[in-house]
């Protein structure tokens, strides 16, 4: 296919595709899907080999957020029956992080619900970062605390943070339909503040919220321009009790085409498969490893993921390997120019849960489950609220 040959050549040269080419990837048929995956896989292997970076989420403060992000189970007015608790103590967070590191995670992502941190919150998170790094030598720490005020990114960097996550989530043109309590520009500004402080920027998107192909291409092209080191791709987890609970628009094939498009547009960036992968990719998750080079291990912020050991088995069975702590994630040209990125290497939507949990879908895609209109049937049975790990007395999934 001429399109795919062109996109592979551009990806190997780090050249930006045209919008028309990106849209054409999303428009490919299921018959062409394996060719699309194979082509994007060539670009992935050029820059990242067969390595898969593992990341682990610790939800420092869950629920009760004043923002109205429609996708989020922690939003203002959410009726989702998630865990709700205030700040974990530094030793509690460090203990939770250690479980992820023991499972093979190279990066720990510290997430807190809310519009943005107070200065006291930054002090609290700084103490947590120091506790984690004291107990886990060499671990990367990414903070995701919402919109930052002047000087807060510098303070987090001084405390030992390696990265900061703040997702764009959707296109600028549709952002107001998803959230009204802050703006798309607010999110862009926070990413810029993180980059200016020398933190590795992590910023991604949520697919499955009813957006068009053009919206998806818009947000991915905006991310390319923003130039983060990590791009988490979340698939909406339609939690009951949130405004988007009925948005079951995705199929596994659609998810793979979205991931392939992101890889072609962001060829040498850490593309992370984040929230919603178990819900929407299901048995096709291993194919996604040919497109992404990073995943979350175990559970997300407010939803449960598949067993951590199942993640490790999936990586090994697919012929990939877990990236070691001593390996630089990003290619040399990015690691050298990054303020804190490759060498150390979902406010509210964190790194990896698409219900607004960084993770931040759709459904199955079999003909038996499809409705008469052709829209996939809802798979609410696959949405499991997290009841273990941080904020509970039960052991975490790592």
263 known ligand binder: no
Phi-psi region of 262 (alpha: psi -120 to 50; beta: other; left: phi over 0): alpha
Do the Cβ atoms of 14 and 267 come closer than 8 Å?
Answer: yes
Residue 268, SS3 per DSSP: coil
Give one DSSP letter per residue of 40-89, joined into a string.
Answer: HHHHHHHHHTTEEEEEEEEEEEBS--S---TT-TTSTT-------B-PPP
Residue 351 marked ligand-binding: no
* Contact status, residue 23 vs residue 265, Cβ threshold 8 Å: no
Which of 39, 111, 48 has its CA nearest to residue 264? Answer: 39
- According to the annotation, is 266 in a ligand binding site? no
CA nearest 110: which of 162, 186, 185? 162
How far apart are alpha carbons 398 and 392 in whole angstroms? 15
Which H or E element spans position 107? strand 107-112
Query: What is the rounded CA–CA span in Å between residue 157 and residue 160?
Result: 5
Examine the residue annotation and report whether 364 is marked as an active-site residue of this protein: no
CA-only gyration radius of the chain, Å: 19
How many C-beta atoms surround the C-beta of residue 9 within 10 A?
A: 12
Token pair of 225 as six digits: 């321009």
Which residue in the list 44, 69, 254, 351 is annotated as catalytic? 69
Is residue 348 within 8 Å of 65, Cβ to Cβ?
A: yes
Confirm whether residue 72 is marked as ligand binding.
Answer: yes
How far is residue 115 from each of residues 13, 96, 166, 219, 347, measured CA to CA in Å?
39, 24, 11, 21, 5
Which one from 44, 75, 124, 142 is the annotated catalytic residue?
Answer: 142
Given 44, 109, 255, 263, the catalytic residue: 109
Active site residue 72: yes
Catalytic residue flag (residue 348): no
109 is catalytic: yes
As a whole number of angstroms, the distance between CA 311 and CA 377 comes to 26
Provide the terminal-to-terminal Cα distance of the chain, rounded to the nearest Å: 41
Of 124, 187, 272, 277, the catalytic one is: 272
Looking at the DSSP bridge assignments, the partners of residue 272 are 232, 294
Q: Catalytic: which of 44, 65, 255, 348?
A: 65
List 124, 187, 202, 351, catalytic entry:
202
Q: Is 364 annotated as a binding residue?
A: no
Q: Per this entry, what is the length of the chain?
A: 398
Return binding residues for [4Fe-4S] cluster: 65, 69, 72
Return binding residues: 65, 69, 72, 109, 142, 202, 272
Return binding residues for [2Fe-2S] cluster: 109, 142, 202, 272
Residues carrying an active site annotation:
65, 69, 72, 109, 142, 202, 272
């Amino acid at each position: 296919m001429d399109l795919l040959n062109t996109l592979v050549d551009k990806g190997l040269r780090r050249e930006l595709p045209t919008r028309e080419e990106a849209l054409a990837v999303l428009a490919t048929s299921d018959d062409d899907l394996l060719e699309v995956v194979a082509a994007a896989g060539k670009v992935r292997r050029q820059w990242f080999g067969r390595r898969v970076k593992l990341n682990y989420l610790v939800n420092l403060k869950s629920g009760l957020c004043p923002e109205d992000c429609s996708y989020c189970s922690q939003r203002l007015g959410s009726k989702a029956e998630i865990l709700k608790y205030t700040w974990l103590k530094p030793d509690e967070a460090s203990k939770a992080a250690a479980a992820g590191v023991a499972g093979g995670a190279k990066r720990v992502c510290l997430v807190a619900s809310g519009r943005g941190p107070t200065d006291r919150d930054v002090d609290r998170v700084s103490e947590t970062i120091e506790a984690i790094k004291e107990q886990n030598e060499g671990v990367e720490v990414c903070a995701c605390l919402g919109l930052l005020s002047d000087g807060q990114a510098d303070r987090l960097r001084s405390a030992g943070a390696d990265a900061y996550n703040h997702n764009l989530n959707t296109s600028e043109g549709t952002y107001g339909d998803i959230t009204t309590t802050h703006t798309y520009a607010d999110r862009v500004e926070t990413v810029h503040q993180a980059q200016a402080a020398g933190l590795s920027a992590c910023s991604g998107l949520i697919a499955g919220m009813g957006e068009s192909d053009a919206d998806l291409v818009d947000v991915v092209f905006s991310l390319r321009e923003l130039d983060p080191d990590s791009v988490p791709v979340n698939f909406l987890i339609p939690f009951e009790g949130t405004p988007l609970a009925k948005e079951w628009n995705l199929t596994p094939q659609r998810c793979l085409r979205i991931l392939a498009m992101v890889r072609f547009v962001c060829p040498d960036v850490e593309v992370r498969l984040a929230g919603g992968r178990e819900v929407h990719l299901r048995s096709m998750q291993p194919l996604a490893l040919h497109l992404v080079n990073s995943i979350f291990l175990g559970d997300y912020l407010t939803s449960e993921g598949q067993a951590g050991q199942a993640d490790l088995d999936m990586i090994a069975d697919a012929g990939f390997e877990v990236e070691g702590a001593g390996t630089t994630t990003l290619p040399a040209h990015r690691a050298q120019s990054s303020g804190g990125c490759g060498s150390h290497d979902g406010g509210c939507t964190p790194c990896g849960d698409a219900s607004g949990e960084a993770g931040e879908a759709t459904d199955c895609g079999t003909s038996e489950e499809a409705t008469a209109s052709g829209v996939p049937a809802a798979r609410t049975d696959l949405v499991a609220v997290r009841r273990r790990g941080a904020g509970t007395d039960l052991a975490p999934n790592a």
